[in-house]
Structure 1
Amino acid sequence: MYERVADLPLTVETCRVDVQERSTSSGFDRASTTIALSGAGETGRGEDVTYTNESHYSLAAHEVDLAGEYTLDSFSAHLEDVELWPDPPEEERFRHYRRWGFESAALDLALKQAGTSLGAALGRTYDPVTFVASTRLSDPESDESPSADRLAALQSIHADVAFKLDPTPDWDDILIAELAEYDVRIVDMKGLYEDERVASDPDPVFYRRVVDGFPSALVEDPNLTRGIRPIFDGHEDRVSWDLPITGVESIESLPFEPEWLNMKPSRCGTVESVLETIAYCEREDIDLYGGGQFELDVGRDHIQALASLCYPDSPNDVAPGSYNEPALSPDLPASPLAPPADPTGIGVGFGDPE
C-alpha cells in the first residue's frame, strides 16, 4: 500500500500551525494543533492530537521550516532531522502523535498536488462508514454516580446507535445489567495506561463483572495479570488491542495472535507505518476498527477516511466530533456516514449532505 503513495512528488512552500481548544463530554478541555502545509496552489492539513495542552501552544510559538521539493517518502525521511518538539513531550508516545500530524498533512498535500485522492491512489473506493458512539457515563473528576443517562439521550436522537464504553470499578451489577440493554459493541478496560487519571484497576472481580455482563462486546486493552488472564480463556477472540499498537512489530509482540485491533494512525506516526500495518492485518486476517482521540479538526476526517477505505463495516470509534460535545445536538449525524461525493487528498466531508 505504501508503495502506491511513497513516490508522490511534494512541494512545500509554507508551514502553518493553528491551535484549537474546547470542552469535551469526558470532563476535560481538549487542545489540538492543525498543521497546514502549502505549495503549488494547494494546502494539505493534518492534526496533532497530543494530550498535553501546553505542548500545542509551545509548538505554535516555534518556527518549523519545511520548505523544499520532496517525494512523500523523502519528506518523511527529512522529518527525522527536524525538531518538532521545542519542549520535550510528557510521554514518548506523543512524538508519534505529532509526527502523524505532519505526515498526514504532507500526504494530503501530495495527493492534492497530484490531483487525486487517497482512495484513487490505493485503488479503493470510499464506502459508508459505520460508527459507534464512545462516551463515559460520568465526569471522572466529579462525585456523581455513573448512569445510563448519556446513552438514553443519544438513543433518543438515534434509536439504533451503538456504543463503545469505558467501564470503571464503580459499575455494579445493576448498572451493567441496565447498560447491557443497549447495543454495546466495545468495552475499553484502559488496563495498559500508566496515567492514573485514565487507567482502570486490574481487579479480577471487576473484569469478570464486565466480561460476563457484556457477552457480545469486544474487550479492549485488558491488563492480563495472573489473576485476570484466566477470565479470557476460550474468549481470546473477544480481546482487542489499542494502546500497544504502534506498527507491525508491536502486533507480532502481543501475548497471542489477535482477532481485532483498534487502528489509530497517530500511534504509528508515519504514513509508511500506518499503511504497512493495515496491509499486514489484511494479509493476516486481523479485523480492524478505527479509533478516535477527541480530534477537533481534520484529524477526524482522516480517521473516517481510513475506515471508509479499509474497514467501513467495523464498529469504528470515529463518530463525528459533535458526539463529544457536553450538550448533545438533536441534529447529530446517524451511522453510517456517507462518504464524500468528490474526495481529494486524504478525504474530508464524511456525512455531509450532498
Structure 2
Amino acid sequence: MSLYDDVKELSLEIEDYTLEGLELQARSDFLRKTTVVHLRSGGEEGIGEDVTYHGEEHDFSQKLGPVFPLAGSWTLHTFSQHLGTLPLFPQEPEQHAYWDYRRWAYESAALDLALRQARVSLGKAVGREPQPVAFVVSMGLGSPPSTERFHSWLGLYPKLRFKLDANPEWSDELIEELAATGAVDSVDFKGQYRGTTVDSPPDAALYQRVAEALPDAWLEDPGLTPETENVLDPHRDRVTWDAIIHSVEDIEGLPWPPKTVNVKPSRFGSVERLFAAYDYCEAQGIGAYGGGQWELGPGRGQIQLLASLFHPSTPNDVAPRAFNMEPKAGLPASPLQVEQRKTGFLAL
C-alpha cells in the first residue's frame, strides 16, 4: 500500500474559505508576501500557505477573494482532482512553478482539515512518530561576499550547520575560510533556476574549487555543460537537486541516479505527488531532505512536521523562521523538537 493510500479516502467537508495576507520586510530589497488559505466547516479549520514569490500575485488573489468553488463533500483525493481543474491563476504567472506553490496551499489546507475532521494527526494517519529534525541555516554571503553574518551565527551557535548559496565572487581564501569551520553541509549553485532573481550560469571553475575544498558538502543544483560535468564527475555521489524536482518522474529523469534529493513540498503541488516521492525515494534507497520557501505562516511548521516524519536526520533547510533574519541569541537549536497538533497537519 502506498503512503497516499493512508490519506486519500479521508472525508473532507468544506463550507467556505477565506484568504489571509501575510508580509515581512525581510531585507531592504525584499518584501516577502504570502497568503494563508483557511478552509472551514463545522467549527474546524484547515490551513495552508501559498509561497508564490511575486507579491503582486498575492495582492491580486486576496483582492479577488474566495472565488473558487470549493464547498461540498469530498474525499481528499476527489478534492485534489477538483483542484487540478481550477484556474488557480487567471493567466500564466511569472514562473510556471507558482501553479504548484498555490496548489500546495489548498492541498495542505485540505489535508489539515480532513485530518482534523477525522480526529487524527498526520503522524497517526501514516503510522509514524515525529523525530527531532536536524536543520541547516540557508544563506548567501552577498556581493561582494562577506562571512561576517556567517561567523555571527556561528559565534552564537557553535554547532550550527549551513547551506550556502555560492557565487563566482567567492575567492579561494573565502572557500578555505568556510572549510576551516567544518560547518558547511551543502552548497547551492542555483544552476537549475530559470527566469528568477537567483539564476546562476554554469561555472566549472567555481564548482571545482568548491568541490575540492569542501569534500564532505552536498553540491546542489549545478548547471550542466560538458565542462561542468567533467569537473563534477569525481563528485557525482555528492551532487543533489532541488529546483527541477516536482515529481517522481523528475527524479527518474536526472542525468544519473542521485544519492539524495531535495524534496521541497511546495514544489510538488499535490499531496499525492509529494507522498509518491517519499515512497519512491525509500524504495530506491535515495535520501531526502526538506526545503523551505520563506514561509511566514503555518507553512513553515508543516514542512518541519513532514521532515520530522520522513527525513529527520538529513540536512533539512527548514530552520525556524528567525534564522532567516539577523543573528540573535535564544533560538531553538538543531535538532529541532517538533510537536504535532493532536489532530490535523500542523506543528505547534
Amino acid at match of 2:89: W
SS of equivalent residue, structure 2 residue 346? coil
After superposition, what is the alpha-carbon deviation per residue over 1:18-37, rounded to whole angstroms, capped at 9, x for unaligned? 11111225952211111110
Q: Percent identity?
A: 45
User: In 1, Cα distance between the equivalents of 2:156 and 2:343?
Assistant: 31
Q: Point out where structure 2 has 5 or more consecutive residues left out of the alignment.
A: none
Residue of structure 1 in register with 2:35 after alignment = 33
User: In 2, Cα distance between the equivalents of 1:218 and 1:27?
Assistant: 29
After superposition, what is the alpha-carbon deviation per residue over 1:89-108, rounded to whole angstroms, capped at 9, x for unaligned? 11111101100010000000
Amino acid at match of 1:288: A
User: In 1, Cα distance between the equivalents of 2:28 and 2:168?
Assistant: 17
Whether the 8 Å contact between 2:12 and 2:117 is mirrored in structure 1 is yes
Superposed CA RMSD: 1.4
CA shift at 1:196, angstroms? 6.0
Matched positions, count: 343
Amino acid at match of 1:33: T
Question: What TM-score comes out, normalization by structure 2 length?
Answer: 0.95
Residue of structure 2 in register with 1:16 after alignment = 18
SS of equivalent residue, structure 2 residue 226? coil
Residue of structure 1 in register with 2:147 after alignment = 148
Amino acid at match of 1:104: S
Residue of structure 2 in register with 1:257 after alignment = 257
- Bigger helix share: 2
After superposition, what is the alpha-carbon deviation per residue over 1:27-58, rounded to whole angstroms, capped at 9, x for unaligned? 52211111110112111110111111100111
CA shift at 1:179, angstroms? 1.3
After superposition, what is the alpha-carbon deviation per residue over 1:114-136, rounded to whole angstroms, capped at 9, x for unaligned? 01111000000011111001111
User: In 2, Cα distance between the equivalents of 1:89 and 1:343?
Assistant: 37
* Residues 1-354 of structure 1 mapped to structure 2, 5 A cutoff: 1-24=3-26, 27-62=29-64, 63-138=67-142, 145-182=144-181, 183-195=183-195, 197-325=197-325, 327-340=326-339, 342-349=341-348
Cα gap change, 1:189 to 1:118, in 2 (>3 Å): same
CA shift at 1:146, angstroms? 1.1
Cα gap change, 1:257 to 1:25, in 2 (>3 Å): farther
SS of equivalent residue, structure 2 residue 227? coil
User: In 2, Cα distance between the equivalents of 1:307 and 1:231?
Assistant: 32
CA shift at 1:212, angstroms? 1.2
User: In 1, Cα distance between the equivalents of 2:268 and 2:344?
Assistant: 20
After superposition, what is the alpha-carbon deviation per residue over 1:134-161, rounded to whole angstroms, capped at 9, x for unaligned? 11112xxxxx521111111111221100
SS of equivalent residue, structure 1 residue 76? helix
CA shift at 1:181, angstroms? 2.2
Deviates most, 149-158 or 281-290: 149-158
User: In 1, Cα distance between the equivalents of 2:28 and 2:239?
Assistant: 24
SS of equivalent residue, structure 1 residue 20? strand
Whether the 8 Å contact between 1:25 and 1:324 is mirrored in structure 2 is no
Question: What TM-score comes out, normalization by structure 1 length?
Answer: 0.94
CA shift at 1:83, angstroms? 2.5
Whether the 8 Å contact between 2:37 and 2:49 is mirrored in structure 1 is yes
After superposition, what is the alpha-carbon deviation per residue over 1:326-354, rounded to whole angstroms, capped at 9, x for unaligned? x33312211111121654211312xxxxx
User: In 1, Cα distance between the equivalents of 2:133 and 2:151?
Assistant: 23
Amino acid at match of 2:274: V
CA shift at 1:302, angstroms? 1.0
User: In 2, Cα distance between the equivalents of 1:129 and 1:100?
Assistant: 22
Q: Which aligned segments of 4 or more residues in structure 1 are displaced greater than 4 angstroms?
A: none
User: In 1, Cα distance between the equivalents of 2:333 and 2:36?
Assistant: 26
Cα gap change, 1:136 to 1:343, in 2 (>3 Å): farther
Amino acid at match of 2:117: Q
User: In 2, Cα distance between the equivalents of 1:120 and 1:97?
Assistant: 26
User: In 1, Cα distance between the equivalents of 2:124 and 2:159?
Assistant: 32
After superposition, what is the alpha-carbon deviation per residue over 1:160-212, rounded to whole angstroms, capped at 9, x for unaligned? 00000001100000111111123100100000112363122312111111111
User: In 2, Cα distance between the equivalents of 1:24 and 1:163?
Assistant: 19
User: In 2, Cα distance between the equivalents of 1:71 and 1:49?
Assistant: 25
SS of equivalent residue, structure 1 residue 181? helix
SS of equivalent residue, structure 1 residue 228? helix
SS of equivalent residue, structure 1 residue 16? strand
User: In 2, Cα distance between the equivalents of 1:315 and 1:2?
Assistant: 25
Q: Point out where structure 1 has 5 or more consecutive residues left out of the alignment.
A: 139-143, 350-354
Deviates most, 338-347 or 223-232: 338-347
User: In 2, Cα distance between the equivalents of 1:341 and 1:48?
Assistant: 21
